[in-house]
Amino acid sequence: MTRRPNTPASPRGSAPERQIAIALSHDIDSGLAPTVVAKGYGEMAEKILDLAFRNDVKVRTDPDLAQILEVVEVDCEIPLEAFAAVAEILTYVYRANDRMKVENREGEPRDDR
């Protein structure tokens, strides 16, 4: 999850938001909730995002979810109020990964439209 600084002028008296990146991990077979495995602001956020992009990890910008998850310590499970949003993201990621597996086995992309 990422939250980027405001690009338009901020309202009077408020500071622009800092960029944050939060990395989650989830073992579907464990029965446990997803955990925060990394988080950082500014330059550290850029490093987390760069690492994700270089490793083809799915990245999503969601300021509301980032706000919920930024208080979660690294190596801790996500809070209950984040479950619905994270479940939506993980569903997308798992489906994308399944499509990639099929493409790799069959040698050509699968059209699920």
Which H, E and C letters describe the chain, residue by residue? CEECCCCCCCCCCCCCCCCEEEEEECCCCCCCCCEEEEEEECHHHHHHHHHHHHCCCCCCECHHHHHHHCCCCCCCECCHHHHHHHHHHHHHHHHHHHHHHHHHHHCCCCCCC
- Domains in the chain and their CATH numbers? 2-8+15-106 (3.40.1690.10)
User: Which pLDDT score is estimated for 111?
Assistant: 53
pTM above 0.85, yes or no: no
**Tens-digit pLDDT profile for residues 24-63:** 998 889 989 999 999 999 999 999 999 999 998 888 888 9
Is residue 108's pLDDT more than 50? yes
